Structure formats: structure tokens, C-alpha cells
Structure 1
Amino acid sequence: MTDPGRLCAQDGRPYRDATPLRAALALDPGRVEGWSALAMTIHAAQGPTASAAAFRRVARLLPETASAHLNLGNVLFDSGCWLNAETSLRQALALDPVRAYALFQLGRVARRTGRADAACRLLDRAARLEPPTSPAAADIGAETALALRDCDRWQDATRHGRRTAALVPDRYDVHLALGAAAEAEGSPAAALSAYERAIRCHPGFGEAFTRRALLHLQQSWKAPTPRPAARGAGRRLAATELGCNGRFGNQLLQYGFLRLYAARHDLELEVPEWVGRYLYDCDDPLPGAPLPRVSEDDHDFFASLSGAAPVRAECDVTGYFCRHTAALAPYRTEFRRLFTPGRYLWPRADAIEHRLRAQGRTVVALHLRRGDYGWGRFWIAPELWYLTWLERLWADLDSPVLYLATDAPELAGAFAPFSPILATDLGKPLAGAEFFTDFHALCVADVLAISNSTFSFAAGLLNRTARRFVRPDRQRRMLVPYDPWDAEVLL
């Protein structure tokens, strides 16, 4: 299988700087090798979305070359532009009908656009072209297990999942499919085991995190009864992938934006089971009949929120909605109201704040994320930046107490001079939502220092008490002030 990330310049090594390539192409815009090298360079440095234009130029220059269309289809797929990706992938397949990778990618597109039956057929064709022990066969097998899951073919999903897991034991998507099948067959213990195995494979992925959380929360809490779905034509808006794209902070941003969007345009938002139903008593209607899938890359929903772009309705929206928060600022009261702790969560939230404030009059909360971070845009700020900032701040605070929100409690030793409090000091964690103690402490702090993470950024949006907000700045190599309601979510 071909991957655009493996493309190389002519000498076999990727270029590090796009500037000389752009200069050369300005003089010779028909040079295929130059556009290929530029596409690869941009892809390596900035990701698929930024490189799509260069890959598109290569495909125009090589209209009869299947790999050119395949590479373009790959980056469009990775950018979330699934329908455009499908067009390029079908062009590649028309030029090379036995290209297994094109069939595999088309199967992935079909599943993500709600055509699970078609995905199964495409993936079956791809599997027949690949040796069963090849690395590509594991990719096809994992995707097939998920497509079978989406078709409610649980026994087949389990069979494909187990066969693929035997070849590659640490595949997130395989254990995800096995967990869903176990749930459907009434085996919650087996489902939890599969989801926890998936989380160990990829701690930052959303769907296994969500399913595990729900299985735990359902054991002791009851979600509100979903409201009836909208009956008026043109009023539906679905977000069936809520709970799949990112974990808790991402999900709050997605749900919060879409609820604001729906309210602004008199639409009824339909969402699946997700942790917000249990934590915040969200009672939105469950998804009804399938709607056409629309990516946030296909329409400027943020412009639509303010009335600067047409309204999109009668669609199933997917995306992360991690845009500059100035567009949300006029709706901050409504946004915060959405995430008021629910009837089961409120006593726990109140106890967390009470215990925290009993330790001092000024709560300083830091977020240090480590476990699933450290690559690409998800860079880690060193503890030294936080320590330097604390040392300058601490003496001027009124009876301060330091709370350390982290997935790496061993970091507390570096902050020993400030006697930090951890989640375990504030009570027993909530099964399935063990993260909530950290999150709520960040929400009620008087001084907040976040990480480059949607988890603590979302907490900053909900924080009504803090008088200082700081975040790490990679260029300045220090913590800098920021306004949660006028900032980029990730730097």
C-alpha cells in the first residue's frame, strides 16, 4: 500500500525547506518531480490539509498515473474531505482496477459516510488482492471489523477482529470492534476489557474512552430520557460521531458549538450516547434516520453561527470545532450553562470544590498532560516553565494552595516546595470519569495554568472564578497570559 507520508525527493531524502522548491517551481511550473517533492515536504511539516494543493497539482500533471490520484485521495481523506477523496480514489481505481490500497481507502470513505454495506464490499475486494499475512491485510481486517460492526453483524465482526488481533495484537481499531460486539452480545465485562485494551494501544483516541466511560456510568446512574426528535422539515442536525473524535475536552467543544449553532438557527441537535448525558443531564434526541454526512472542512459552520455564511441543516456533522474562540465569546453564558453538573454529579462537584478551598484561600491549578502527548502539534511544555512562573507568583498570593491536574502524578515531586494537592487527595475517583476531579478543580481555580490541551482549555472556558489565565508559548519558552474567550484552542 502507498502512503503519501512515504514519498521522497529525488535523492530519496525529504526536503526540509519548501522555499527553494517554490522558487524552482515558479521558474518551471510543469516540473512534476518538483511538485511531488513540495507536496511531500509540506505534508511532513504541516500535515495533509496544507499539502493537498500540491498533491492536486501533481495529479493534474499526471492524469494517467494512478498513484498521483491515490496520493491526492489519501491526503484528502486524512483532511476529512471524504467526498473529494472518493473522487480521486475512484480515478486511481479506474486507472488500476486491482490496486488494493485504493479499494481499502474507498472502503474507509464509505464507512465514514454512512455506507457500511458498501464498505464491507469494497474491503472484501481489497482483502482478496492482499496476501493474508501482509501488513496491509491487518489494516483491511481491522477496517472490515468496524464496517461489520456498523452493519450490526456482530459475529462476523468478532471473527474478523480476533483474526486480525492474532496478526497484530496492538491494533486499537480491532479491540474497539471487539468491544462493540461484546456489548451487543450482552457481555459488559468482555466489552470493558476490550475497550481498556484499545485505550492502552492509543490513549488519546475518543471512541474507546467514551464506550468505557458509559459502561461504568450506566452501572450506577441513569441518563435523562431523550427529548422527542424534531418533527418539522428542515430542522434536524445530527452529530453521530460525538464521542468518537477526541476525548473529554474535544467532546465538550464539539457539543457546545453544535448546541449553540442549533439554537441560533432553530434546529434540533441529535446526538448518540456520550458522557455528557450522565455528567450534565444532556437530554438531546437520539439520532433518527441517517442524514448526509458533512465534515466541518466542507462548510464554514463558524461563519454560519454568526450569520456570515448559509445555514446547513438536515446533515450529520463531524469535526473537532477547535477554532479561535472569539466566535463563541458572545455565547459564553449559554455555553457554560450547557455544562452545569447534573443531578448525580453536582454533589460530587460541590465536595471537590469544598475540599479544595479548605486548603487555602487562593487555588492555583496547573495542568500537566503527558501520557498521550509529545508529537506533532500536541507538544509538551516542560515543568520548568510552570515552576519558574510559580516562583515569581507565589509570594504575592493570599494563602495559596497548588492543585496539580495530571496523568503523571510522579511529576508532583518537582513541585514539592509548593506542597501540591492531587486528585487522590480530594476523594475517590468517579468510575468511568476518573478525569472529572482534575477537570472540576481546573474549572473552579482562582489562577489557572493550562497545558497545550483541549482538556484544560475547555476547563478555562467554563471557569468563572479565575482572575489569571496562562498557557505555554512554544516560541517564547514560557507561560504567557491568554483570554480563554479570545484564543486559539491549540497552539
Structure 2
Amino acid sequence: MATVAEALQIAVGFQRAGRLDEARGVYLRILEVDPRNAHALHLLGLIERRQGRREKALELIRAALGIAPDMADASCNLGSTLSELGQVDAAAAAHRRAILIDPGLEGAYSALAFLLGGRGGPRDWETAAVAFRRVLRLTPGRADAYHDLGIALRQNGAVEAAQASQRNALILQPDFADAQANLGNIRLELGDPSDALTCFRRGLLIRPGQGNTLYNQGNAQHAAGLADAAVDSYAGAARAGVALALTRLADVLTDLGREAEAEQVLRLALTRPGSDVPGAIDMLSALLVRQGRFDEARRFFADYRYPHAADPNTFRIECLTAVAESWLAAGEVDRAVEVLAGIHGHGSRFFTVKSIAGLQQVLARQGRRLERPANPDPAAPRICSSTLATHGRFAHNVLEYVLLRLYAEKFGYRLETPDWVGGYYFDLDDPRPSGGLKPMHFARRILNDLVTGRRDDPRPDVDILSPLFLFDHREEWRERVQSWLRPRPEWLPHVDPVMQALKARGNTVVALHIRRGDFVWFRYTITETAWYVDWLKALWPTLDRPVLYIATDDPATIADFAAFAPVSLTDVAQPWTGLEFLQDFHVLMNADVLGVSAQSGYSQLAALLNRNARLFVEPDAAARRIRPYSPWTAPSGTP
């Protein structure tokens, strides 16, 4: 009769040979004899997991660890099972526990890195890169690990290091198609579409017809001005199952003046699983509005339902935004406001249309409208950003604008912009887009390098596509930027009364921004109110008749500051319905002491524009405290 150890060896042999039912039978017999055999429990759990019974697998692996908590491989497999069940934080903790038990367990590092990369939070890519580097130290020469490290590095902003990592992968495995494609994306981001195209062609020679590579090749061709070739690549990608290529295809067709074909493609995208449905809604709405087909647009979007969603109201806000946009374009401002009244959303286009409708309504009631100029000389060097209002909301758009204008002014180009909230709110006079410019993808690094002098190869006559990001806040730019971004006089009756009411209450306005909302969902750093309370306890006695103003998307946090008699917008002024964020922003922009929220572009932008404050402070999340900072010498920290 076999011993337990011998039976384990037999079961493991069955398991490795794929004879899972036979292996299960042996493990169960072992557990009849030795119910606390941790190895049998763990390995039986792996069989359950492989056969899709993950909850049972979880139970068995946890039982094994309860008996033998220092089984590193069991902890690693626990993490993988938890990950498959969607319990990401618990999975990461299990993988980290495995690494603590056995720092040489390569599988735990790999699993942790993939888990964090898949989650994609703001700090996860950095940790994933560390884990992939550890994998390479333990198992040098792995092309796949260099490739995955390159992806993590690029996502974390280390583009040059990412490029080196992908090149290492290709040295080790020259026929690595994914590494060629990812190297191509990096070359495109670094401003070399020609070299990017070479990489994509090599990738397609290795793996012909690969959809994602065709999609990325289309991006490079579009950026290089090869619009007809881009049409072919995007169409090929769509045929290969990359539904995201449909909106890109429609974009190029529109640039080529083939709007009827673009419309067909967009309507197809609205029926395909995996497509960019919000983007297709926005683009089809813009096309119909541009052609004056307002009634048709309203009928279509009022009735549209995405056929692949369980919830029939999926994309309802996007559709209502399109309906409102058609009313706005037809000059029916009140109807546009009515459509979006009482609706709360986080989409960029929703924010733009709702806010512009509200601002236009104010002007309309005064018998006025904002007239935007045309470019008087579109043949002169110019740049545009047709996507300025399509990524992020108020602060993100404004910071994109700052980068674009710094670039335009440095090289003597005229900047054209679409309708966007900052263009309405601030006293700007940029002309509308004149059209006819080739797109510039992945431009944020290139533009930052150009405005800071790290490179000197400017590109005029391009449509610079979002997302963009201003990396540095240089003191030398302060006066210029603050001179650009001043509210139009028309809006002061709506925003000034808030500051006037605060000044009537005290001599020193202390304004804090506490952001929650989407920061919780997207795992950004959360500013703890306790940090600000502790800081205020020391500061408060030193101030001359201070009054505390809290700007927040989570009113429940205001009670945490009860000791300082805090006030918010509704305590001091009539809210500007739908545009309350501008009233809060005006206070932050004019406060005497300003505390920003961690990683929030909204309050950081207010700090950049604030000419009055004698003290700026920010959270130090690592130290769990509040510290002074200077907005115009600090690098950008917005997500």
C-alpha cells in the first residue's frame, strides 16, 4: 500500500499529464487519511480552479494556507484565483505575501505585475515595472518579460526606458510581433511616424493581418499624412475584429471629405460589440449637426439603444448630450439646457455641452451671444486641437490649452480651438478651426519637450490630438498664463458675489478643495480631511479673522471641519445652476490661503491662476500631512 508521500507523487503525475479526474480521486483519498494535508488541499484546489470551480478552489487553497501558512506557491495561486474572481486588492496582497515568503518565486512577481498592469491605477504601473524587473533578475533572457516591462514603463511615462526594453525583447526574439508593434507605438509617441511604420510593417510580416497592429499602423499613417493608406489599415483592423478601428476609420474618411462613408461606418460602430460607442455617438452627432440635420439627429439619438448592453440606458447620457448638442447648434439654447437639466455625468462631451449651454443661456437672456472669430489667414502657420473638449473636463481642458498656447506662441503659430468651456469662460479670442490639418497623435511628450527647449523640431500645420498634459509649471510662464486665463466680464456677476460674501464674514479666506467622486473609482490618491484638520489647528490662531470655505464633490466631508465653522457655496451665495464648479473655482482662484486636493487638476489649476494667496499647501500622502508648496515651481501632478 502506497504511503501518503507516494500517493502525492502519483497524483501530481496525473495532474501534470492532464488526467485531472484521476488526480482528484487520489487527492481525495489522501485527505480521507490525512485531512490536514496542506499539499493535497492546495493541489486539489488547483484542479478545481482549472475546471472552473473557483469558489471551491478558493476554499481549498485557503484551507491549505491555514495549515501551512508559509507555502509560497499556495499563496501565489490564491492570488491568481482571487484575481479571476475579481478580488483585485486581495489578490495583490496574496502575491505580495508569496514574495515575502519566497523572494525568489518568479511566478509571484509575474502574477503581481500582470495584475497591477491590468488594474492600471495611477501607481500600479510603477509597481508592475518593479515586479517585471525582478522577474528579469531571477530569469534573465526572457523576451516576454522585457516586452511586458516595456509596456509598464511606457504607461508610467518612462518612454525612453520602454523603448530600450522593447529593443531588448527583439534582440532576444527577433520574430516577436507584439514587441515590434509596441516599439512602433513608442516611436510614434516620440514623434517618428516613419520609423513607427517600419516597426508595424515588420510586425505584420511576422503575423500578417493582426488586427491591433493594423490599427496602430493606421494611426501612424494618419499621423504621417497618408490618409488613404490609413483607411486601408483601419478597415483591415475592423475586419480582423478590432471594432475600435471603426471610429478611427470614420475620422479619416471625414478628413478626406467622404462624409457619407464616414456616416455609414459610425452607424455600424453603434451596432458592434467592443466599439467606441461614446466616440461614435459624438462623431455622428457632430456630422449630423455639421450638415444641418438637426431633427434627424434628435430622432435618432432619442431612440438609440446599444444592442449589446443588458441595461437599455447604457449610453443614455451620451445620447441626451447629442440631442442637446443639436438644439444648441440650431440656436435653441433653452431646449438644450432643458434636455440635460438634472442629469449628472462624468463624460467629457456631456460636461462640455451642458456647460456651454448654460453659459450661452445666460448670454441669450441678455440678448447677446459669443461671436468667435475666423482665422484671418489660414495659409499662415497654425495649429489646432480639434479634440480639446473631448478628454477630461474643465481643468484638464484648460491645462491642455496652456500647453498648446505655450507651443503656439513660442514658434509663432496661430492657435485654433473648437468650442470648449474654457474658451467661453475665460476672455479668449482664438479663432475657430479652419480644417485641413493632418493629425498629430501622442503629442504630449513632444510638445512638452518643445516648449521647454529639450527639442527644437517644431511641427506647424497639425491638428494636435488629446490627451495632452503639461509636465512642468515654470515660473517664467506665470504672468503670461495668468493674463490669458481671466474670466470674461459677463460672468463676474455670477462668481464675484461668492467672494464678496466671504470677505464680509472675515479678513482671510482659507479655501480647501476636497475631491472624492471619480477619484475613489479610479483609485487616485485621496486627501484625508484629518490631515487638513490637523494643519488648520496650528494655522488658525495665526490668521486675521479667518473664514473657511470648502469646495468639494462630497458634502459629507464638510462636517469634519466643524471646529472652524466651515461654509460652502450654498451657505454664502445663490448657486449658478449647472455651473457651480465655476463659482467654487473662482473662490479657489482668489483665496488668501489655498489648500489643494491630491492629484486634482481642478484645484492645482486654481492655484496656478491665484494672484492673491500668500500660502499654498498640498497633501503629502506619504507623510500623511499637509505641506506648503509653490504652484509655479512644482511639476504637474494631475492624473
Class of the TM-score when normalised by the shorter of the 2 chains = 0.7 to 0.9
Deviates more, 1:72-81 or 1:396-405: 72-81
Does residue 281 (structure 1) correspond to residue 427 (structure 2)? The answer is yes
Taking structure 1 as reference, are residues 418 and 116 closer, same or farther at Cα in structure 2, changes over 3 Å only?
A: farther
Q: Which amino acid aligns with 2:514?
A: L
The alpha carbon displacement at 1:48 in A equals 6.5
Which of 339, 346, 356 aligns to 1:214? It is 356
Higher relative contact order (CA 8 A, sep 6+): 1
Taking structure 1 as reference, are residues 471 and 291 closer, same or farther at Cα in structure 2, changes over 3 Å only?
A: same
Partner in structure 2 of residue 123 of structure 1: 234
The alpha carbon displacement at 1:443 in A equals 0.3
Matches within 5 A, 1:290-329: 290-294=436-440, 295-297=442-444, 299=446, 301=448, 304=451, 309=456, 311-318=458-465, 320-326=468-474, 329=475
Partner in structure 2 of residue 4 of structure 1: none
Partner in structure 2 of residue 358 of structure 1: 504
Of structures 1 and 2, the larger Rg is shown by: 2
Taking structure 1 as reference, are residues 433 and 85 closer, same or farther at Cα in structure 2, changes over 3 Å only?
A: farther
Q: Which amino acid aligns with 2:294?
A: G
Matches within 5 A, 1:240-279: 240-279=386-425
- Structure 2 gaps, min length 5: 1-105, 114-126, 303-315, 323-339, 364-368
Asked if 2 retains the 8 angstrom alpha-carbon contact of 1:59 and 1:69, the reply is yes
The alpha carbon displacement at 1:126 in A equals 2.4
Matches within 5 A, 1:327-342: 329-342=475-488
Does residue 156 (structure 1) correspond to residue 264 (structure 2)? The answer is yes
Matches within 5 A, 1:327-406: 329-374=475-520, 378-406=524-552
| Partner SS, residue 549 of structure 2 | strand
| Partner SS, residue 376 of structure 2 | coil
Which of 153, 156, 166 aligns to 1:55? It is 166
Partner in structure 2 of residue 482 of structure 1: 629
The alpha carbon displacement at 1:228 in A equals 3.5
The alpha carbon displacement at 1:232 in A equals 7.0
Partner in structure 2 of residue 180 of structure 1: 286
- Structure 1 gaps, min length 5: 1-8, 131-135
The alpha carbon displacement at 1:362 in A equals 1.5
| Partner SS, residue 68 of structure 1 | helix
| Partner SS, residue 383 of structure 2 | strand
The alpha carbon displacement at 1:29 in A equals 7.4
The alpha carbon displacement at 1:383 in A equals 2.1
Taking structure 1 as reference, are residues 262 and 78 closer, same or farther at Cα in structure 2, changes over 3 Å only?
A: closer
Separation (CA, whole Å) in 2 of partners of 1:313 and 1:236: 6
Q: Which amino acid aligns with 1:271?
A: T
Deviates more, 1:265-274 or 1:45-54: 45-54
Separation (CA, whole Å) in 1 of partners of 2:611 and 2:482: 9
Which of 549, 559, 562 aligns to 1:416? It is 562
The alpha carbon displacement at 1:337 in A equals 1.4
Q: Which amino acid aligns with 1:462?
A: L
| Partner SS, residue 243 of structure 1 | coil
Partner in structure 2 of residue 133 of structure 1: none
- Between the aligned residues of both structures, percent identity stands at 33
Q: Which amino acid aligns with 2:168?
A: R
Q: Which amino acid aligns with 1:340?
A: R
Separation (CA, whole Å) in 2 of partners of 1:467 and 1:258: 29
Does residue 67 (structure 1) correspond to residue 178 (structure 2)? The answer is yes
TM-score (norm 1): 0.80
Asked if 2 retains the 8 angstrom alpha-carbon contact of 1:196 and 1:212, the reply is no
RMSD: 4.1
| Partner SS, residue 216 of structure 2 | helix
The alpha carbon displacement at 1:482 in A equals 0.5
